[in-house]
Amino acid sequence: MSRKTLNILLVEDDAVDVMNVQRAFKMNAIHNPLYIANNGQQALEMLRSGAVPANNRLVLLDINMPRMNGLEFLRVLRMDPDLRATPVVMLTTSNDDRDRGESYALNVAGYLVKPVTFPAFVELMAALNAYWMRVEMP
């Protein structure tokens, strides 16, 4: 199987969660570039400016963030003709049915609740990477 590069934008304001994603990538030998935005506004700027390459792009999105939260980001993203097809996976601590419902109404590709333990988080990142490496991207 040929290896494709997946350009992953992590939109997350919690420095510990960012470190956990980075550690999980290392432990799973995930070598895809990981771009970091601390809020939805910064993420939109990075996507629109080309700071995150437009090909094979995936957004991992937290909901609870300052300035522009994940759901606000999603609403803006889906209204932007250049960005609306961008695949987004929610990666959040929120197990709230309303957050999940609103996320899917805004066409997320998946909704993942962050596991409490780090080994479970590493396993989740491995499964997510295995899936996205096989999916045909827009």
Q: What is the pLDDT of residues 77-120, one digit of tens each?
A: 999 999 999 999 999 999 999 999 999 999 999 999 999 999 99
> What is the SS3 string spanning 64-83?
CCCCCCHHHHHHHHHHCCCC
Mean pLDDT of 31-57: 96
Mean pLDDT of 25-30: 95
pTM listed for this prediction? 0.95
Domain 7-134 has CATH 3.40.120.10: no
- pLDDT exceeding 90 applies to what percent of the chain? 89
pLDDT for the residue numbered 136: 84
The three-state secondary structure class of 88 is strand
Question: What ranges do the domains of the chain cover?
Answer: 7-134
pLDDT for the residue numbered 1: 40
